[in-house]
Structure formats: C-alpha cells, structure tokens
C-alpha cells in the first residue's frame, strides 16, 4: 500500500471515504480509485501552488463533486497543515443534498475548516453569493454526461484561470449523431459511427474535441493527456486548460464547422461561444 499512499496522506480520511477498509486495507477497486485521484493531484498541485504564490490566495471549485473524493484529497495533501491554509478555500458543488450533508459532516470531523459544500445547480452557482467572485481553478472528476459541460460553462462564465476535467460517460452527442445520419450530404462519413459501439465511442471523442475547441475559443491553452493507464480506468482523458489570452475567432469557426458537418447544429447552445468585439 505504501507505493500508492503519498507522504503525510491521512489514513483517517481514506477510511472515511471508504477507500480504505476499517482495518486500513485496500481492495482492487479502491486501489484504482486512490491511484486515479492521487495521480490527478499531481497535475493540479502545480496549478494550486502557482495560484497561491502569485495571488496570495486560491479559490477552487469542484463541480459535480459527488462524495468529494477529489476535494478532500486536494485539501489533505495541499492545504492541511500548510502556512497558507487560511489563504485557500475549496468548494464542492453538488445537486444531491444527502451527499452535500455527508461532506459537510466529514469536513467538520476532520477540522478541514476551509472547505464548503453547496447544494446548488450550475445556474444557481453562477449567481450564488456563497461563492466568491474570483475563481482560480475549476475541477470536475468523472462528472457524467453533460455535467462536465456544466463545469466548463461555470469556469468560462466566471473566468477561472485554470480548468481541469476528467470526463465520464457522454451520451448526448452520440444520440444526436444517430438522428443526423440521414440528413448528411455525404453519407459515407457516417460509416465512422454506423455501428452502435462506434457511435458511442465517436460521440464521446467528438464531445471532448468540441470541449477543447470551446476552451480555446475563450482564450485557454489546452493540454489533453491520459490520467492513468487504461488498466485502471477506461474513462481516462484528462483536459487541462489555462487562460492565456482573449477569445479567438478561429476556434469558434472550427466548432461551427464541425457541428454543421455532422448535423449537430442543435448543440450550438451547449457549446456556446464568446461574444467577439469587432
């Protein structure tokens, strides 16, 4: 187990999250889960550190937080017992009230004082006075289907400096692809996704391509990589974005072209674009 645990990682926390059994053991499933979250921490830690050093504070929002595995691990490994603890605050946004209550109780028991868990929808979180105006990092770990897009939408609207998402199941684009096949001018293209399995896989891939282009259209520099080996998870794509400049026309045009080419014009609202000033 020592090869997975990080130095100083709280055994008590991992037990509370049911990653470790009550006697401190790991089963195969929890080993995969811990490896994924700890590996994701390696990507997020430099962003948190750079933010604290440059701004003397850091606000991180974890959207679709679920049981808040990621938020608790980030707090445990980066914020807890650090001299800059009071400069950092982590927020978990979740629509299921029972999970919010459990996370609140756990943070209180562990004395993770700069963690907040809010029972909000995406639209509510956009305007909520429970969330600070300046957001530095937005994360989403395995937020299912459109929940990843909700996290990206929040980040874009609130002009977060960094966005880190690991998408999960994605069905909406695939369902639109099924409907659009008969309307395409070049039906041979539909051979790419004629079979149901290919439709699902291609729809998932296309979704993430459009997400990256959307972030780039808003002026983000995007890196796409794998989170861990495929032996640990098939939902393995990690998208990291850093705000570097003003919105860019060319990426917006690429989104429109792709949507038109595959008969996905109905999804324009989902992959919304910045307003360009002439």
* Percentage of the chain lying above the pLDDT 90 cut: 54
Provide the b/e sequence for 150-168 (b: ≥16 CB within 10 Å).
bbbbbbbebebbbbbbbbb
Whether pLDDT at 101 is above 50: yes
For 137-157, how does the pLDDT look when each residue is reduced to its tens digit (9 = 90+)? 999 988 776 788 999 999 999
233 and 31 in contact (C-beta within 8 Å)? no
For 115-135, how does the pLDDT look when each residue is reduced to its tens digit (9 = 90+)? 999 999 888 999 999 999 999
Q: How confident is the model at residue 2 (pLDDT cuts 50, 70, 90)?
A: low
Q: Does domain 11-168 have CATH number 3.40.50.1860?
A: no
- pLDDT at position 230, please? 45
Nearest to 178 by CA among 155, 154, 159, 197: 197
- pLDDT at position 113, please? 93
Q: Where in the chain is the domain with CATH 3.40.50.150?
A: 11-168
- pLDDT at position 145, please? 66
Span 45-67, average pLDDT = 94
Return the minimum-mean-pLDDT range out of 1-5, 98-102, 154-158, 217-221: 1-5
Cα 184 from Cα 260, distance rounded (Å)? 9
Count of residues in the chain: 278
Whether pLDDT at 260 is above 80: yes
Q: How confident is the model at residue 196 (pLDDT cuts 50, 70, 90)?
A: confident
Nearest to 244 by CA among 216, 272, 209, 208: 216
Whether pLDDT at 236 is above 90: no
Q: Is the whole-model pTM more than 0.85?
A: yes
């Amino acid at each position: 187990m020592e090869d997975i645990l990080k130095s100083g990682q709280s055994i008590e926390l991992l037990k509370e999250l049911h990653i470790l059994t009550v006697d401190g053991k790991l089963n195969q499933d929890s080993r995969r889960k811990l490896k994924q979250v700890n590996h994701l921490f390696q990507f997020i830690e430099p962003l948190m550190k750079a933010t604290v050093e440059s701004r003397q504070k850091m606000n991180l929002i974890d959207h679709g937080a679920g049981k808040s595995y990621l938020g608790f691990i980030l707090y445990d490994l980066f914020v807890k017992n650090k001299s800059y603890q009071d400069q950092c605050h982590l927020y978990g946004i979740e629509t299921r009230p029972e999970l919010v209550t459990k996370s609140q109780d756990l943070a209180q028991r562990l004395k993770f004082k700069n963690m907040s868990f809010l029972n909000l929808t995406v639209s509510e979180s956009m305007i909520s006075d429970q969330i600070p105006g300046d957001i530095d990092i937005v994360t989403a770990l395995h937020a299912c289907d459109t929940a990843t897009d909700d996290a990206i939408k929040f980040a874009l609207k609130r002009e977060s400096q960094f966005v880190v998402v690991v998408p999960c199941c994605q069905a909406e684009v695939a369902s639109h692809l099924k409907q659009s096949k008969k309307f395409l001018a070049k039906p041979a293209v539909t051979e790419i996704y004629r079979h149901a399995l290919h439709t699902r896989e291609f729809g998932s891939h296309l979704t993430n391509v459009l997400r990256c282009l959307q972030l780039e259209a808003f002026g983000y520099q995007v890196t796409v990589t794998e989170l861990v080996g495929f032996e640990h998870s098939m939902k393995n794509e990690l998208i990291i974005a850093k705000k570097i400049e003003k919105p860019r026309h060319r990426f917006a045009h690429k989104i429109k072209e792709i949507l038109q080419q595959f008969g996905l014009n109905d999804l324009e609202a989902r992959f919304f674009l910045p307003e360009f000033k002439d």
